[in-house]
C-alpha cells in the first residue's frame, strides 16, 4: 500500500513539474512577443481634420510676346501685350499667324477652330475672357480651360489627371499640382510627342516582356 502511494506521489510531482514548465514556457514566449515590436500593435492611421494645403502651380508671369528682335546679349526682346493692344483695334476674327502683318509670326495654332478672341480678352489683352464675357486673369487660366474640357477638369479635381508632387496623406504634408498649361501649350494643346528616356539594358528589353523572340 505504501509503495503504491509512493509511486503515485512521484507521478503527481512529475505532472506538477511538467505543468509548471508549460506555463512558464507560455509566459516566456508571451513576454518575448511583447518585447518584439514586429508582433506588437501597429499605429493606426486616422485622417486628420487639419489638412495640409494642395497648391496648384500658377503661371504668375505677365504674359509677353517675342518681338522677333534680340538685345545685345542675344536674348529675345519680350514685349507686354498691352504695349500694342491698348491702342490697336482688336480683330476678333483672326485665327492664324499668317493673318497678321507683324508679331506672333512664329506661333502655330492647333486648338480646334478657336480664334484669338475666343480666349484672349479683346478689351484687355493682359487678361482672358470666359464664354460669358467676364474676364479672368492668366493665373486662373484653368477656369477658362474647364469651360470646354469638363471631363478632364472633373478628373483633375478627382486626382486622376495631371502630375503632382508631395504627400498622398495630406494630414502629414502638402501637395503641389500642375496647372493645365504646365503640360499643354494653350495654342497647341495636344501633348507633344517625346523621345523616351532611359532605354532598358536588361534581357527583358531586348526581347518581349515574356522573353519571346519577335
Interface residues with another protein (CB under 8 A)? 35-39, 42-47, 151, 155, 158-169, 171-173, 175, 178, 183, 191, 193-202, 204-210, 212, 214
Q: How far is the CB of 89 from another protein (least distance, A)?
A: 40
Of residues 30 and 198, the one with the C-beta less far from another protein: 198
Q: Pairing between strand 76-80 and 175-177?
A: unpaired
Of residues 4 and 195, the one with the C-beta less far from another protein: 195
Question: Cα dihedral angle (108, 113, 119, 120), rounded to 10 degrees?
Answer: 50
Q: Distance between CA atoms of 191 and 65, rounded to whole angstroms? A: 22
**Cell numbers of 106, please?**
512664329
**Cell numbers of 13, please?**
510531482
Of residues 74 and 200, the one with the C-beta less far from another protein: 200
Of residues 127 and 152, the one with the C-beta less far from another protein: 152
**Cell numbers of 206, please?**
531586348
Q: How far is the CB of 1 from another protein (least distance, A)?
A: 54
Helix (H) or strand (E) holding 175: strand 175-177
Q: How far is the CB of 50 from another protein (least distance, A)?
A: 14
Amino acid at each position: 500500500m505504501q509503495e503504491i502511494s509512493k509511486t503515485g506521489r512521484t507521478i503527481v510531482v512529475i505532472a506538477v513539474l511538467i505543468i509548471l514548465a508549460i506555463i512558464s514556457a507560455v509566459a516566456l514566449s508571451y513576454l518575448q512577443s511583447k518585447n518584439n515590436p514586429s508582433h506588437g500593435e501597429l499605429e493606426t492611421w486616422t485622417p486628420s481634420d487639419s489638412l495640409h494645403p494642395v497648391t496648384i502651380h500658377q503661371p504668375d508671369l505677365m504674359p509677353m510676346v517675342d518681338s522677333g528682335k534680340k538685345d545685345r546679349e542675344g536674348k529675345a526682346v519680350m514685349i507686354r501685350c498691352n504695349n500694342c493692344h491698348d491702342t490697336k483695334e482688336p480683330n476678333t476674327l483672326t485665327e492664324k499667324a499668317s493673318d497678321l502683318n507683324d508679331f506672333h509670326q512664329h506661333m502655330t495654332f492647333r486648338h480646334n477652330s478657336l480664334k484669338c478672341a475666343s480666349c484672349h480678352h479683346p478689351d484687355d489683352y493682359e487678361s482672358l475672357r470666359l464664354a460669358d464675357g467676364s474676364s479672368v486673369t492668366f493665373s486662373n487660366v484653368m477656369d477658362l480651360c474647364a469651360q470646354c474640357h469638363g471631363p478632364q477638369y472633373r478628373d483633375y479635381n478627382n486626382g486622376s489627371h495631371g502630375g503632382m508632387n508631395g504627400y498622398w496623406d495630406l494630414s502629414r504634408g502638402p501637395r503641389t499640382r500642375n496647372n493645365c498649361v504646365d503640360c499643354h501649350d494653350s495654342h497647341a494643346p495636344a501633348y507633344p510627342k517625346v523621345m523616351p528616356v532611359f532605354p532598358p539594358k536588361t534581357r527583358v528589353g531586348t526581347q518581349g516582356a515574356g522573353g519571346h523572340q519577335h
